Chain A
Amino acid sequence: MSKLSFRARALDATKPLPVFRCEDLPDLHEYASINRAVPQMPTGMEKEEESEHHLQRAISAQQVYGEKRDNMVIPVPEAESNITYYESLYPGDYKMPKQLIHLQPFSLDTEQPDYDLDSDDDVFVAKLKKKMEISLLQFEEMIDRLEKGSGQQLVSLPEAKLLLKEDDELIKEVFDYWSRKRKNSKAHSLINIIKQEKRDGSSTSDPYVAFRRRTEKMQTRKNRKNDEASYEKMLKLRRDLSRAVTILEMIKRREKSKRELLHLTLEIFEKRNVMSDYGGEVLAEVLAERALVRPQIIPLVPLTNQYHMDHKDYKSKVSSEKTEVPRQKRKYEKKQKALPLSISAAHHQGPAVFNAKDLNQYDFPSSDEEPQVLGSSEAEEENDPDGAYAFRRKAGCQYYAAHQDRVGAWPWSPGWEGGLAHSRYCYSLTTLTVPRRCQGLARRRLGRGGRVLLDRAHSDYDNVFHELDPKTLDCATKTLDCAPPPSGSCSPAASKFASTSPINTSDRSSSSPPSDLSQILLSIKACRWRHFRPRTLPLHQLDNAHPLFRRLSRSIKRPLTNIGPSAQPLTAEQFQQHQDQLVQMQKEQLEQQQQLQANRATTVSANTLDQASAQFAASALVTTEQILALKTKEELSLGGGVNGILTPSGVYKGLHLSSTASPSLAAPAPPATLSSAASLHPGSATNATPPCSTNSNNGTAHHAGPTTTNATQVPLGNSLRLAVPAGKRVHAPRTLSSAMSASALKLAHAAAAANCQKPKVPSSTAASPLDIVPR
């Protein structure tokens, strides 16, 4: 037969299997040989156990006899079931409840002691009972507390007395007994507990440690959604809890205020008593007086955008309030109910006015419920246009009101408007060299590495400006040589532009605008409008400026025209020039208090300073330092008004470099080190530990640290950083402005030269060591 000629198919679980009785298939045994297709299933037992004698015997017995025979079962250790005292041990009166038993939550939490009294205890308690009153349960409870009160160290007697509420004598007896028993016991505890896992992980393989906590999460993958949901819930919970904290804090403030009110009331009463104002005449008089003065509500926690308040006003209000307080009290005392809330609110020192921000100060943004914190909700936008940038008070900071009289006194505003900037840094018409055309209004600003940045401002006449041809302008200058001399101040329009910040695009229409090109040209000619053009500026326009300024204009164009730094060696002549500049700069500082720019070319070529020039530079610095000190005093006294309020950080702050030089171990520099030293790190050449560089870049730091503020700005080779150790370490943001004081730069070069014994430092190395300056 061809029984074996075809292979049996694999068993298909989805295929119906006909069920036969064996007697219906007499020829079945003939097919028995091809039964192999069904794979043998594993038993699920451990291999080695599967072969155990008794199991194998039982299995074979089962297969032979169809069922287990008694002597073929797997033997197990015997169990006894005739405990004689069982009947007495457990009460036999339990009635089965009709309903299925449903366990009530917390029904298991009985306040029973875990400790169970043993026979020794029994003897002891029996003995003790003769002396004093104690029940078994009471004893158990005491031991239970002592045990649970003891950790690694046993409870001491005084502690036990605190722990137990029984009288001292009993406590002492039980305590003594307990400590004796505990000492004799080998176990950790008289309440036998399963060994706990140790935190250090040493118990991972201790067989007696059981029921360890599952530290890791199980299958985070499977339940990722769920995890997210619970995370959200946690966030919500946290926020809710923080709200509760806020509310509690507010309650605390309220209660404090109440207490204060009480004290003040008492004081008034005493005062009246002293004044013998029993009839209340004085009080009435005061009240009448009081009625004339409207109480002023001063929100001590002002709303976010409402803190613009005149400084003097504020003071007067505070003082007036102070004087009013007692009188108010009296009123309060008399007409408690009728008093408007605002009055009581006013004299409460605790703030009566809360705003949403205050309430939210403990809140954390969660994705679902508080979009307004993220500043995305429109409603919030209306209330708080600043959104995430809204001003927030800092704890411990004192804030002053804005100076009303110095509106527009932006740092980039010219002097006549109260600003600090020289007129050439104000917005002016600007013409670039490379796309040779007028760019419209722009102001110059020093960026990193001495780059000159142009902040462009939009104006309604931009298209007019763009049409301005520099050439026509040039010739116009020639032809209109006899134009009237520049008036003392710019035209209103120009000044308007000058004060135009990129954000502030307000009422431009009010001024009389130049309507056409020729008019603008004329204005330029007349120097009513400033017009900036790099390089091509005719010299005569700057004639009245000092030589440094000329140089400046030359240096400014360089980054724009992409000419690489020149690395020519410095000649004696140039050095002399440089010296002159330094002197000039100092003068500038004293006179004008404005930012100066040093010649970048000089900076780079200064690499080749020899020892002598280094010496000179260092000595020059000494004088600069003195000047600086002078200036600093001046500025500190002057800056008081500006200091407190945060000026928009950015350009202005970035231009300031606080540089207090103090002796540095690292730089064995020439004489300058006596008073000050700064070390420069040219590339990897020096491994001197650089002093911490500080650059206070924000208002608070300014205020906190008595760092001298130096207005002199020097553009420095690409990314040279000067490390300037300050007397007080102000941890400054990482962004060190690349500008630095000229003196410091000089010194740095000197130090570098002296330090490295290198006559020449390649400009490339000097220009790149950004990385080595520690931050």
Chain B
Amino acid sequence: MTKMADSGSSVEIVEGCRLPVLRKNQEHEDEWPLAEILSVKEVSGRKLYYVHYIDFNKRLDEWVTADRLDMKKLQFPKKEAKTPTKNGLPGSRPSSPEREVRKSLDLNLQSATAPSRGKTLPTPKRKVEPVPLVPQVPPAPPVPSLPTSTEASPAAVFPAARETNAFKSREDHEQISSLTTNGTARRLIPSQPGRKRKANCGPTDEDSQDSSDGIPSAPRMTGSLVSDRSHDDIVTRMKNIECIELGRHRLKPWYFSPYPQELTSLPILYLCEFCLKYLKSLKCLQRHLTKCNLRHPPGNEIYRKGTISFFEIDGRKNKNYSQNLCLLAKCFLDHKTLYYDTDPFLFYVMTEYDSKGFHIVGYFSKEKESTEDYNVACILTLPPYQRRGYGKLLIEFSYELSKVEGKTGTPEKPLSDLGLLSYRSYWSQTILEILMDLKPDNGERPQITINEISEITSVKKEDVISTLQYLNLINYYKGQYILTLSEDIVDGHERAMQKRHTRIDPKCLHFTPKDWSKRGKW
């Protein structure tokens, strides 16, 4: 891999372009994953590009300078009829919205009017595949001269074609970085004029929750997460807050959060550690702290053991705090929606105490009335506290609440990657704990039903099964299902449990569930 010294002096890198971008991996080695340009901006004469690394989570998206782009392998936005699922890995979501394509088209159209190029262009309203312009790029040798037949026939005209000649031929010439497993898989799908990016937001044949054809309609009013991204646009796909200062921590947001727009240009957004109010400057924060006398989340403490406490906050009674909490949480939860008010939710904030007060570590929200057995809506450990067992504590607490309620529960879907790992880990440990504690009675093999596991743990039956499956514990042996515990599993579990020094103590929980259905609305 050679790094391009000087690239785009003559070439316009527009939104939707794809090219390898340099980044450091966890071992601090250079790698060149394929990335998509989502946005371009100019800061003091230098161009900055907002890139999304394909097949990496959005949270790693960042603004990069031009010298990190590998211009040799630049791919312009291209429209193909492709079903990403069939063709290799579907990759992560981002791909260019319609308007980006159109923008680039306009640019291309402008340059195409030059008399030297004898291109026949369709009417401006038609979307054109900007392939013919690729030869403009002087320092890009792999780009071939395309067959004349494809030049005049943009792919948009043949939306059904799976792979056009143009695409194939170019693909042959491209040397795709070995790190980008499916660089060719992420192509733009031709979308209908006037539609948003619905068409290319994923495998539509598999989950088409939205039948409204991109007509903006209000999302459903239950739950806290969106899996339907029809409301997504380029704004929400990009992080808008650079840095958040919360207490002694500085956090780099992972995702978009609808803090007031005028605050998004600030280098640092200051948050009051206790009431989570957002402030534009340190001075303002100082002033605020003279007036804010909170030293704990403004709710009732329903659990305390050691320094760990849980506070319950009613999203209806304490709107300000709930909204501030949601805004902060949205920075780290991709699928969280803040479309509607916080009224139907309860917020359980986990804190750690020191002489300054009760510091927020993480939280989970919960619908007062869930129609789908959700016992958690959103759950988050703030980044400074991650990977230290707090997440498991939060999850454990959520199931303790369910136990008091006498219900089984499950987290609201979709799960994030980290959410999946955390929950799987919690479920595994919880179930293994039970299985290993089973004592043989009367010399017989100990046995247990899935329902029993579910009842003991308050973990929903489906989650129990999926965990057993994931751990590969279910085996079919001599005409019946059995659960088998391998040595690896047992050892791994014992090691993991040693790390779980902090546990939720049900005796310290002071919680009486309320029947919200009897309280009018929420």
Q: Which residues from chain A sit less than 8 Å from chain B, CB to CB? A: 6, 8-9, 11-23, 25, 28, 31-32, 34-35, 37-38, 40-55, 58-59, 62, 66-68, 71, 73-83, 85-86, 89-96, 100-103, 108, 110, 112-113, 116-119, 122, 136-137, 140, 185-187, 192-195, 204-205, 207-214, 216-219, 222-223, 226, 230
User: What is the CA–CA distance of A49 and B474 in the complex, to the nearest angstrom?
Assistant: 27
CB < 8 Å: which of A41, A47, A136, A140 contacts B465?
A: A41
Across-interface contacts of B415 in A (CB, < 8 A): 43-45
Distance in Å: Cβ of B303 to nearest Cβ of chain A? 8
A140 to B291, CA, bound (A): 11
Do the beta carbons of B462 and A41 come within 8 Å of each other? Answer: yes
Q: Which residues of B contact A116 (CB under 8 A)?
A: 279, 284-285, 287-288, 291
A276 to chain B, nearest CB (A): 72
Cβ-defined contact, A49 with B57, below 8 A:
yes
Could you give 14 example pairs across A and B, Cβ below 8 Å? Answer: A38-B474, A45-B415, A53-B55, A55-B420, A66-B491, A68-B421, A75-B25, A83-B249, A136-B287, A140-B287, A185-B262, A210-B339, A214-B340, A217-B521
The answer, yes or no, to whether B302 is at the interface (CB within 8 Å) is yes
Tell me the complex Cα distance, A32–B472, Å: 11
Contacting residues, chain B, for A119 (C-beta < 8 A): 281, 283
Chain A residues within an 8 Å CB radius of B446: 18-19
Query: How close is A655's CB to chain B, nearest CB, in angstroms?
Result: 56
Are B280 and A226 touching (Cβ within 8 A)? no
A110 to B288 alpha-carbon distance, docked (Å): 13
**B46 close to A (CB within 8 Å):** no
Tell me whether B91 and A48 are in contact (CB under 8 A).
Answer: yes
Residues of B within 8 A of A (CB): 25-27, 55-57, 59-60, 84-85, 89-93, 181, 202-203, 206-207, 216-218, 221-222, 227, 231, 233, 235-236, 245, 247-254, 256, 258-263, 273, 278-289, 291-293, 295-296, 298-302, 304, 309, 311, 318-319, 323, 326-327, 335, 338-344, 353, 355-357, 371, 382-384, 386-387, 411, 413-421, 435, 438, 445-451, 454, 461-462, 465-466, 469, 474-492, 495-496, 510, 517-518, 520-521
Q: Is the CB of B245 within 8 A of A83?
A: yes
Q: How far is the CA of A108 from the CA of B324 in the complex (A)?
A: 15
What chain B residues lie within 8 Å of A50 (beta carbons)?
A: 417, 420
Min distance, Cβ B90 to any Cβ of chain A, angstroms: 5
Cβ of B319: which chain A residues have Cβ within 8 Å of it?
211
Interfacial chain A residues near B59, Cβ < 8 Å: 76-77
Q: Which 4 A-B residue pairs are closest in the complex by CB-CB distance?
A: A41-B466, A66-B492, A77-B252, A187-B262
Q: Which residues of A contact B207 (CB under 8 A)?
A: 47
Q: Within the complex, what minimum Cβ distance (angstroms) separates A6 from chain B?
A: 8
From A28, A74, A108, A219, B418 is in contact (CB under 8 Å) with A74
When C-beta atoms are compared, the residue in chain A nearest to B465 turns out to be: A41
The CA-CA distance from A118 to B270 in the complex, in Å, is 13
Query: Is the CB–CB distance between A28 and B477 below 8 Å?
Result: yes
- State the CA gap A26–B309 with chains docked (Å): 48
In contact, A81 and B474 (Cβ under 8 angstroms): no
How far is A279 from B249 in the complex, measured between Cα atoms in Å?
Answer: 93
**What separation, in Å, do the CA atoms of A48 and B298 have in the docked complex?**
38
Interface residue from A19, A42, A207, A230 paired with B235 (Cβ < 8 Å): A207
Q: B91 touching A43 by the CB < 8 A rule?
A: no
- Complex contact B252–A204 (CB within 8 A): no
- Give Cα distance in the complex from A103 to B487, angstroms: 50
Interface centre among A59, A81, A211, A222 (most CB of B within 10 A): A211
A20 touches B339 (CB 8 A): no
CB neighbours of A11 from chain B (8 A) = 450, 465, 474, 481
A54-B417, A214-B340 given; A77·B289 CB < 8 A: no
A52 CA to B93 CA, complexed, in Å = 10
Q: Does B249 contact A52, Cβ atoms closer than 8 Å? A: no
B250 and A19: CB pair below 8 A? Answer: no
Determine if B26 and A75 form an interchain contact, defined as CB atoms under 8 angstroms apart. Answer: yes
Give Cα distance in the complex from A591 to B273, angstroms: 100
Could you list 11 further interchain pairs (A-B, Cβ under 8 angstroms) beyond the known A18-B483, A46-B93? A25-B477, A38-B474, A66-B491, A77-B253, A79-B252, A86-B248, A90-B289, A108-B318, A110-B291, A186-B262, A204-B216
Task: A589 to B295: give the CA distance in the assembly, Å.
Answer: 96
CB neighbours (8 Å) of B92 from chain A are 48-49, 51-52
Interface residue from B57, B280, B462, B476 paired with A35 (Cβ < 8 Å): B476
- A625, chain B: closest CB distance, angstroms: 66
What separation, in Å, do the CA atoms of A28 and B438 have in the docked complex? 21
Specify which chain B residues have a CB less than 8 angstroms from the CB of A54 in the assembled complex: 56-57, 417
A44 CA to B25 CA, complexed, in Å: 27
Q: CB distance B481 to A15 under 8 Å?
A: yes
Contacts A19-B483, A75-B60, A213-B341; A82 near B248 (Cβ below 8 A): yes
| Closest CB in chain A relative to B273 CB, distance in Å | 7
Q: Which residues of B contact A94 (CB under 8 A)?
A: 295, 355-357
Q: State A12–B298 Cα separation when bound (angstroms).
A: 46
On whether the beta carbons of A28 and B475 are closer than 8 Å, the reply is: yes
Chain B residue with the shortest CB-CB distance to A186: B262
How long is the Cα–Cα vector from A165 to B195 in the complex, in angstroms? 55
Say whether B485 contacts A21, CB under 8 Å: yes
Q: Are A16 and B449 in contact (CB under 8 A)?
A: yes
Question: Would you call A90 and B273 a contact (CB within 8 A)?
Answer: yes
CB contact between A103 and one of B251, B278, B299 (< 8 Å): that residue: B299
Shortest CB–CB separation between residue A13 and chain B, in angstroms? 4
Give every chain B residue within 8 A of A16 (Cβ-Cβ): 447-449
Instruction: Please state if A38 and B202 are interface contacts (CB–CB under 8 Å).
Output: no
| Smallest beta-carbon distance A757→chain B, Å | 58
Cβ distance B456 to chain A, nearest Cβ, rounded Å: 13
Q: Is the CB of B521 within 8 A of A90?
A: no
**Nearest chain B CB to A242 CB, angstrom units:** 23
Closest-CB distance, B30 to chain A (whole angstroms):
15
Q: Are A89 and B286 in contact (CB under 8 A)?
A: yes
A219 vs B387: C-alpha distance when bound (angstroms): 39
A75→B383 CA distance, assembly (Å): 11
Residues on A with C-beta less than 8 A from B285 are: 89, 116
A223 adjacent to B247 (CB under 8 Å) = no
Residues of chain A within 8 A (CB-CB) of B449 are: 13-17
B369 CB, min distance to chain A CBs, angstroms: 8
With A16-B447, A213-B341 in contact, do A101 and B296 touch (Cβ < 8 Å)? yes
The reply to whether A19 and B438 contact each other, CB–CB distance below 8 Å, is: yes
Is A55 within 8 A of B417, CB to CB? yes
Q: Is the CB of A117 within 8 A of B284?
A: yes
Set A31, A82, A187: member contacting B260, Cβ < 8 A = A187
A211 touching B341, Cβ below 8 Å: yes
Name A67's contact: one of B416, B438, B474, B492 (CB within 8 Å).
Answer: B492
B271 CB to closest chain A CB, in angstroms? 12
B264 shortest CB reach to chain A, Å: 9
How many whole Å from B319's CB to the nearest CB in chain A? 8
Q: How far is the CB of B430 from chain A (nearest CB, A)?
A: 15
- Report B505 CB to chain A, min CB distance, Å: 14
Q: Select B281's contact among A95, A118, A213, beta carbons within 8 Å.
A: A118
- Which A residues are CB-close (under 8 A) to B341? 211-214
Which residues from chain B contact A195 at a C-beta distance below 8 Å?
258, 260-261
Assess whether A209 is in contact with B258, with CB atoms less than 8 Å apart: yes
Enumerate chain A residues within 8 angstroms of B490, measured Cβ to Cβ: 21
Shortest distance between the CB of A33 and any CB in chain B (Å): 9
A17: chain B residues within 8 A (beta carbon): 447-450, 474, 481-483
In the complex, the chain A residue whose C-beta lies closest to that of B304 is A100
Contact between B284 and A118, CB atoms less than 8 A apart: yes
Residues of A within 8 A of B273 (CB): 90
Collect the chain B residues with CB atoms within 8 Å of residue A71's CB: 26-27
The complex places the Cα of A9 from the Cα of B476 at a distance, in Å, of: 9
* Residue from A14, A66, A83, A230 within 8 A of B248 (CB atoms): A83
| Distance A12 CA – B464 CA, assembled complex (angstroms) | 12
- Tell me, in angstroms, the Cα distance from A13 to B417 when the chains sit together: 28
CB-defined contacts of A136 to chain B, threshold 8 Å? 287
Closest to A120 in B: B283
Chain B residue contacts of A38, Cβ below 8 A: 465, 469, 474, 481
Contact A51 B383 (CB under 8 A): no
Tell me if A112 and B342 are in contact (CB < 8 A): no
